[in-house]
Structures are given as structure tokens and as C-alpha cells.
Amino acid sequence: MSDKTKVNPDKAPYLTFIENKEPGLLSGDYQLNLTHELTGHGIDGENKTEKPITFHFSVLGDRFSIPPPQVHSYFPPQSSLGTDYHRVLPHIIFNRTTLPWERLVMEPDTAAKGNIQEDALRKIPWLALLVFQEDELDTKTDPGNSLSKDQIQQQKLNGRVVTLGSLQNSDKGWPGIADLEYASTDEKVTVIYAKKSVLADIVPTADEMRHLAHARQAEQKNAENDSYESVGNEMSIVISNRLPQTQGTSVIHLVSMENRYGADKSFRWDKAADSDLVTLVSLKSWQVTCITHKESFSELLHKLDRGTPILPTGDNINSNAKPFLTAGFLPHAHHFRRGGKSVSWYHGPLVPGLHNKGIDTSLFPIHHSDELLRYDNNHGMFDVSYAAAWELGRLLCLQQKKVSVKLYNWKRRHAQQIRQSEQRELTPHLPLSSNDHLDEKNIGLPPEVEQWFSDISLLNGVPFNYLLPDERLLPKESIRFFTIDSSWIASLLDGAFSIGRVIDSDKAVDQILAGKLGDTKAISTTISGFLIRSAAVSGYPGMLVEGYNIILDEENENQPIDTQPLKVLRNECIAPHIRLCLFEGELNTLDIHLKPEVLHFGLDQDSPQGSYYKKLRNSDGTERSEHDEIKIIVKMNDKRKVEVAKLFGDIQDQWTNQLEPSSTSITSAQFALEMIEGVPKVRFMNYKPVK
């Protein structure tokens, strides 16, 4: 069987999985002996000169630590919260493809006793990724230490820093280091401690380790000559053999297994009893937390309550109020300037459908917010939406002292320039003094002011209760689609721009200067988007979104979209469980998916109490249809350690029987292909704005 396998070779780019990448020379010290022999006419055996030459050199590979630049990424991310980490086999990716195979898990003499060929020995990685629960790690504390309980706990989880000399003197739980190579006994190294009884249930055998490491290369097909070209750098991957716990925090350690295996390919315990602590060198560690084991990323999104940001209306709602509620309005207390009070309608900038009932923007600039109050003669109620937006803009600008001061000074300088221009026209025969001259090039809009107005036009800094004045507009586990009301944004910006506007002449100057604010897309173009409130937001903070203007029919709802996606103007979490996203244009189809970096290895599970299984792919990496799917039940012990050897054997049987009958065996490359989990994508479509 080939040591490589390609995934979707006709698509570009695609991945090539490689069994391993053995280095030319293993790490260690070497001696090179050269003998110089002279041969030629007149030189016989007696006169032949032979002069031996000896060279010494070392291959200095990483051993007791991994430099940070060598680690490309790892999954799950550090300190992340996930809803489906209980189905994930953590992995780590290295930028150096030979790193996992640069050292040996046993001495060559030991391998010879077990009839292990050198070629097979070199294919076993010396790095293993072990997953621990918080209570499974321990530490050795020195007598009379002054560490606090928190420090001891962190030492248990993250490891303890010791010297190599102290490791050499260990009497049990550590095999010892015969040759330090270039290191010294004073060199620091991070170690972790766990009881033999714990490690015995989770440490992989040497054969399992061979299946848990591979290399990967992204390639692209050249249509001109039908050849394949590499895209990016080759990388090596080490996978764990244990699933994180279903609820709680798990600690993941990349440990060195150099010389830790015996001739029978099992871990060497070196006389350690079940209750003794076994020492492992930790090269990298991180922690992850599974907050629930009920739903995955795609399941959370599929179960979202979909709708528009309006309050639910029932039969008991007044018929006169229904049109307002369905348009996104809410009743709010309204206190008048002269002491009276009433109830008025208010809606935020996020409205359902295309909002065509805004105000006439030619009214701007205005002197005060009362000019934007709208009165409904039929129902006897005010609409305070735009007046509230105007006041909010003014207050937000005043709150930013640096911005408001620079805006005021900029407007004053322009006002002076306008007066000077008028003076030149009225009295052209009178010269201006040098002190009265203002250079137009030096009074451009300050960058801080321009940036602030650009940000606030996309609702940055707008309090959440102005966006959604009632929590019921965005229930838990819901997604709401909307369009930005350009009149609301125009009112907000005019309120912010009103700083220094007192008399009629100030209003006239502002009318001239308003066009110098720059691009305010929220006024000139259609902007739509969505709000999502879900555990998926906090559990997967790196989710990506793509929006499209097109509407797909039911027959083509899952087809790839070739058109250019809408430009994303804003995509960020505005609260722990809430994400806001704005697009330039009318959003009709939305794709939400995770980053390509979260391509990971894992298992499937129909229910929280159901068995774990794996759906196999075709030999080219494509998914099999439902009528010919192949499911393999995954066996594991009570510590959630996957029986990798059995799973590998079951997958190999399916490859030789169905997937690729011409093959006689598979490698870690094909195993990785089957274990990899694609990046889930959920599509929301046919959101057609109501006109």
C-alpha cells in the first residue's frame, strides 16, 4: 500500500496525507571514518598508502523542549470552551515534518531482541499526545516548600521544572538518560507525574503510536500539464488516543517517549508499582473544557429559533398595535420636556425587511431632537426612534472628549475660512493680514474623527439596549435577520455632528461640512445582517460567515455558491453569547462555518449515551452516500482511551474489502484520512426581506 493518499485530487487545493517523514539522520552524535587509498601505475600492495581520517559531528535535534516556532497549531485551542470536544481526538501540528521521527522509542539493541527491524523502528514517533483529567496528575513537592495550594495545583497541571541531573538520579519511574548529547546536567526540563495505575490505562503501545502520527501537504493540480504542485509547507501531525472528558477540564501534554518502550513494544515501567509516580518529560501542554456533551456546533445552529427582530404577536394583542409590532416597534415610556409623560413607539436601527418609511434626510442638520419626533394622528402616539438616535449620537460624541474637541476645532476653522472667503468677495480691494490666512490643506478632517464616525455608522459603541430594547427580540438559542434603517443611522450621525451647532450660521456651516465626513455606507447603501444568541458563539468564537444576495431553491440548497459573497462590514461578539454581523447588500443566503484550522480528528455519536462510531470515506476522501455508508463502532476503555490498534485493523479490513480491494494494507496516512473531521457548515437561506 502506498504511504500517501490524496483527498479529492480533482479539486484544488487538496490534502495529501503521508505516512511519515523520516530524517536522513536521527538526532545524536556521529563519527565518520574515511580511508584514503592510493592506486595506479607502479603502486602495488606493498607501496599502497592508506591513511585513516576521522570526523566527529552531531545532529542537534530537539529533545527536552520544542521551540515555539516549530509548533504550527493545535486543537482544541488553549483554554477554549467546546460543546463537542468530548468527540475530538486532540492533535498538534509541527512546522518541521521530520520532528516526530527524529528519535527512537527504544534502543536498537532492545529492538533487535524483539525482532523489530530498523525500518519499522524508525517509523514509530518518539512524541505522544496524552490527555489527562485534572485529578489524574500529581506532583513531587520538596520538604519544607512554601508553595500555596494554587501553585501546587498549577504545578500538577502544567508540570514541574527540574534539572536533567535530578532525572538521571531517579530511582524508579524513569529509565534514566545514558547520553545527554549536547545538554548539561543543569539544563532545565519540564516534567509531569502520574501514577502507574493511571498511565497504564491511557499510554499507547508502540504499534498504536505508529498509527497516531503522519505528515500532510497541501497540493494543487496544474491543469496545463496535469501535474501536482505543493501549496505551502509540509507539516507533521501527532494525534492523541484519548477523548477529553464529557464535562469539565482536560489537560493535554505532548510527552517524550524516547527510550520508554521495551522489546515487546509496551511501555517500560522500570520497577514502578501501581501507586508509584511515573515521570514524563512534557514538551508542550494546554487545557480545554467541554461545557456540555449534548450538542455539536452544527446541531446548535440547526436548532436555532429563526426569525426577525420583532415581538411575538398573538390574538390578545390590540389590532391597532399589531402593525407597529410587526414592523419592529416597541412601546416605551416617554417623558416630555415640560414634565408630562406618555407611552410612545420606539424601534432601533435593526428592522425587519427593507425599511422604506424613514424620514427625509434633507431635514438635516437640525437644532434639537424634537424636530425628529413623529406623531401618528390615527393612534395619538409619538414615534421617538429618530429623536432618540439623534440624542444618542450627541451624547456618544461628547463622551469621547478627544473626538468632540477635535471635531469642534475643525468646524470652527472651517467657519473662519468661510467668513474669510465671504470677506474676500465683499471687499476684494482690502488685503488680508498673514495672521488671518488659513491654508485649506491643513484643515482636513482629523483621522480620529473620521474613524470614529465610520465606526459609529456601523453601530460600534451603540449601547445594546438601543439596538434591541427588549430581550424578547432575541431569545436564547435564536438567530434574527434584519436590515439597517438608514434614517436611524443618519439621525445618529447628525446628532454626533451637532457638537458646536448653536445658531443658524452654525447650522449652515454644518450643512456644508457634512459631506466631508467620508463614506457612510449605512446611509448610502443597503446594509443587512444578523444577530445570533447561542452557546455556539461562546463555544466557537472563531466562527466564519459568508453572506450572499442570491436565493437558492430547495433542489439546490446545498450546492456550492460561485458568486462573490457580500462584503462583511462587521463581524464580532458584542456579548459573551451574542454575535453581530453586518453585510454590504441584501442578505438572502448565509453560510456559517468554522475556520479551516479547526479541521480535526474525531468520532461520531448519535446521542450522549450512544456508542461512538466512525463513518468511513471513499479512498479519495469524499463522503459516502447514505445507502452505501460504512460505520465502524469504536471500542474504548472506561478511561475513554480509544483502542487504536483494533480501530486501525477494522478500517484496514474495510479498505481491503470495499474501499480499495487492490490494497493489502494501509498506513497512518489512510488512517488519518478516515479519522479527520471536516469543518461543519450550516446554511440559512431564503431570508427574503419584507417590503
DSSP assignments along 558-582, one per residue: TSPP-SPPPEEEEEEEEETTEEEEE
Q: How far apart are CA 364 and CA 641, in angstroms?
A: 68
Cβ-proximal residues to 327 (8 Å cutoff; 6+ apart), any chain: 310, 347, 351, 352
Residue at 57 is within a domain:
no
Supply the pLDDT for residue 689. 43
Instruction: Specify whether the CB–CB gap between 454 and 461 falls below 8 A.
Output: no
Which residue type is seen at 648?
Answer: F
Amino acid 418: pLDDT? 76
Q: What single-letter DSSP state applies at residue 174? A: S
Secondary structure of 133-173 in the HEC alphabet? EHHHCECCCCCCCCCCHHHHHHHHHHCEEEEHHHHHCCCCC
pLDDT for position 520: 60
φ, ψ of residue 234 in degrees (nearest 5): -70, 150
For the record, the C-alpha cell of 581 comes out as 454581523
pTM across the whole model:
0.67
In angstroms, the CA 492 to CA 497 distance is 9
Whether residue 14 is found in the same domain as residue 119 = yes
pLDDT the model gives residue 1: 41
Percent pLDDT > 70 in the chain is 84
Reply yes or no on whether the pLDDT at 146 is more than 50: yes
Q: Between 134 and 691, where is the model more confident?
A: 134
The pLDDT, as a whole number, for residue 569 is 93
Give the end of a domain, one of 519, 551, 572.
519
In a domain, 684, yes or no: no
Is 673 within the bounds of a domain? no
Domain tally, the chain: 2
Looking from the CA of 196 toward its CB, the CA atoms found within 13 Å total 13
Residue 48's pLDDT is 63
Q: Which of 280-284, 510-514, 644-648 has the lowest mean pLDDT?
A: 510-514
Higher pLDDT, 134 or 595: 134
Q: Which of 114-118, 212-216, 233-237, 656-660 has the lowest mean pLDDT?
A: 656-660
**Co-location of 278 and 356 in the same domain:** no
Domain shared by 249 and 392, yes or no? no
| Angle made by CA atoms 623, 626, 631, in degrees to the nearest 5 | 75
What average pLDDT does the chain have? 83
Burial of 662 (0-12, 13-18, 19+ CB in 10 A): exposed
Pick left, alpha or beta for residue 493 (phi over 0 → left; psi -120 to 50 → alpha; otherwise beta). alpha
Amino acid found at 143: P
> Residue 147: what pLDDT?
78
Contact between residue 140 and residue 160 where contact means Cβ atoms under 8 Å apart: yes
Q: Tell me which residue has cell 532545565.
A: 188
Phi, psi of 646 (to 5 degrees): -65, -45
In the sheet with 589-593, reading across from the earlier edge strand, the strands are 544-548, 589-593, 681-685
Q: What would the grid cell of residue 632 be? A: 465502524
332 and 207 part of one domain: no
Judging by beta carbons within 10 Å of its beta carbon (0-12, 13-18, 19+), is residue 666 exposed, middle or buried?
Answer: buried
Judgement on whether residues 280 and 336 belong to the same structural domain of the protein: no
Cβ atoms of 621 and 11 within 8 Å: the answer is no
Write out the three cell numbers for 596.
479551516
Of 290, 324, 354, the domain-final residue: 290
Which pLDDT value is given to residue 78? 87
Domain span at residue 421? 311-519
Q: What is the arithmetic mean of pLDDT over 414-431?
A: 76
User: What is the DSSP secondary structure assignment for residue 96, as one 8-state letter?
Assistant: S
Q: Average of pLDDT values for 619-643?
A: 87
The answer on 280 and 379 residing in a single domain is no
Of 2-6, 73-77, 98-102, 623-627, the range with the highest mean pLDDT is 98-102
Q: Are residues 240 and 386 in the same domain?
A: no
687 occurs within a structural domain: no
Asked if 634 and 612 touch (Cβ cutoff 8 Å), the reply is yes
Higher pLDDT, 617 or 295: 617
| Co-location of 386 and 469 in the same domain | yes
Same domain assignment for residues 315 and 273: no
pLDDT of residue 518: 58
Higher pLDDT, 675 or 680: 675
Residues 68 and 182 in one domain: yes
Q: What pLDDT, on the 0 to 100 scale, is given for residue 658?
A: 79
Q: What is the dihedral of CA 91, 94, 99, 104, to 10 degrees?
A: -10
Quote the CA–CA distance of 580 and 462 in Å, as a whole number: 12
pLDDT mean over 364-378:
87
Burial (CB < 10 A; 0-12, 13-18, 19+), residue 431, is exposed
pLDDT value, residue 47: 55
Residue 597's pLDDT is: 63
Answer yes or no: is 191 within a domain.
Answer: yes
* Position with higher pLDDT, 428 vs 613: 613
